Amino acid sequence: MSKRKAKETHVPVGECVAQLQKTLRERLCCGELPEKPEGVDAQHKHLLELLRRTALHGESNSVLLVGPRGAGKTMLLKSVLKELLKEKDVNKTLMQVHLNGLLQTDDKIALKEITRQLHLENVVGDKVFGSFAENLAFLLEALKKGDRSSSRPVLFLLDEFDLFVHHKNQTLLYNLFDVSQSAQAPIAVVGLTCRLDVLELLEKRVKSRFSHRQIHLLSGATFPDYVQRVQSKLWLPEQFPDQRFAHEWNNSVKALCEDKSVEDALQRHFNSSKDFRSLHVLLMLCLSRVTVAKPCIKPADVLEASRVCFADAKANMLHGLSILELCLIIAMKHLNDVYEGEPFNLQMVHNEFKKFLQRKSSTIYHFEPAVVMKAFEHLQQLELIRPLDSPGARTQREFQLMRLLLDTSQIMEALQKYPQCPTDVKQWAMSAFA
């Protein structure tokens, strides 16, 4: 409590927490660049050197950054660009064209975007919206006219590179790589992708023009690195307005990372995935529990957040089903057991369910077939069961073949957690052959 008092004399806790939330949220949510990228020094140096050669010496290059999602490809590229732009000459001459495979879904849109980003619209006039061929010819002409020494270097940054591969004839890629191979305006093509087999997708002629320079971002982090990363993500910087609060916060983070139960939780996360994004989700959930009344992260918060992250979504959905729907799922499970994964239809499920009702003087009374069908359709809506053939009015609803998209252990676990589950239903589910 004495700590608390000391803070209040300084800057109100409320402001401190608000400031803390602001700083950390910016770091976690929108990928604010860290001062120094961790663990990718070699890649950083390689890429920086490459882009610098394009920017300063007019060398044309092409490179692919490959790594799984959330491995820090964009972060690396951005930090390299930031460093590159610090240099005096580069800042004035280098031109950047950012393209994203998600947005520029075909070559025509991409071309428009390139023209726009190179500020060529006024040169082309209304030709931007002219034909594709014309536009391309103009752009290529503009690039061809340049040469190594005099024209400004252009950086093409292709995010989601693998989606550009699906464009018709890969025209854009062919032309970009072609320019980078021949003595025209100096350009560098940087592609970011998460597919390891991206080179197999390229056409032969495109592939031959690509420099085959790949930078892999495969996380080789060990668990201590991971914990270190957690700590650095939560660390408050020196420039924080209230030094004392920052100091206390940093101490509490340090203590948190050394806590045994937190370490176990982090180990679980580390085992399931090493990437930054899933870590961000976890930290974000922890951070959201920091309030004025409790201005630090407790181990219990981490455990709770970890529980939210690892929650089985299907089990959550099963928990909310009605008894009738649950009974149908158990009947499906029995059908799956008996007929070894053969698909089933509503009639069979209902038949199985009726057998159960006949055998046991159960607490559940008989349901009309139509009520059962309504429950069955609800299960289909929730996509817990999937029709085998393509949808259509071709077959009657009760004879449409279905497959169950749950496995036995999921069903049994859900049954244990189900609130007020009748005992006979539970026993029916347990019995191997109903």
Partner 1 sequence: MTGPLQHPGYDEEKLRKIAELLPCREVQAELLLSLMGQPEHRSYPAIFIYGHRASGKSHTINMIMKELELPHVMVSCVECLSVALLFEQVLLSFFGADAAALLPRGPSLSDFVRIYRQQCSDSPAKQTRYIVSIMEKAEMLRDTDANLLPALLRLQELVEDNVSVILLSEIVWDKFRPNTGCFEPLLLHFSDYSKGELQQILSKDRHPSYSAEFYSSYINILLGVFYSVCRDLRELRHLAALNFSKFCEPLEEGKAKESDTHKLWRNIEPHLKKAMRTVYLREVSSLQWEKMQEMEEKEAGAVRGLSAHTHVELPYYSKFLLIAAYLASYNPARTDKRFFVKHHGKIKKTNFLKKNEKTSNHLLGPKPFPLDRMLAIFHSVVDSRVAPSASIFSQISSLVTLQLLNQASHDDQLDAPKYKCAVSMDFICAISRTVNFDIVKYLYDFL
What is the widest separation between alpha-carbon atoms in the chain?
92
Other C-beta atoms closer than 10 Å to the C-beta of 330 total: 23
Tokens representing 77? 């590229």
Alpha-carbon distance values, 118 to 85, 102, 172, 434 (Å) = 17, 20, 16, 71
SS3 category, 188:
strand
Coil, helix or strand at residue 100: strand
Q: How far is the CB of 28 from partner 1 (least distance, A)?
A: 8
Q: How far is the CB of 393 from partner 1 (least distance, A)?
A: 7
Which residue number, 89 or 126, has a Cβ lying nearer to partner 1? 126
CA 242 – CA 12 distance, rounded (Å): 10
* Separation CA 333–CA 336 (nearest Å): 5
Name the minimum Å distance from CB 406 to partner 1: 11
Pick the closer one to partner 1 by CB: 19 or 211: 19
192 and 74 Cβ atoms separated by less than 8 Å: yes
Other C-beta atoms lying within 10 Å of the C-beta of residue 68: 16
The pairing of beta strand 61-66 with beta strand 95-100:
unpaired
Give the CB-side neighbour count of residue 14, counting CA atoms within 13 A. 0
Closer to partner 1 by CB, 136 or 364: give it.
364
Question: If residue 143 lies in a helix (H) or strand (E), which one and from where to where?
Answer: helix 132-145
Instruction: Give the shortest CB-260-to-partner 1 separation in angstroms.
Output: 27
Q: Which is nearer to partner 1, 254 or 294 (CB)?
A: 294
**Nearest-angstrom CA–CA distance, 213 and 42:** 14
Comparing CB distances to partner 1, the nearer of 18 and 255 is 18
C-beta of 145 vs 417, nearer to partner 1: 417
CB of 277 to partner 1, least distance (A): 6
Closest approach, Cβ 11 to partner 1, in A, equals 14
Question: Is the CB of 232 or the CB of 316 nearer to partner 1?
Answer: 316
State the minimum distance, in angstroms, from the CB of residue 278 to partner 1.
7
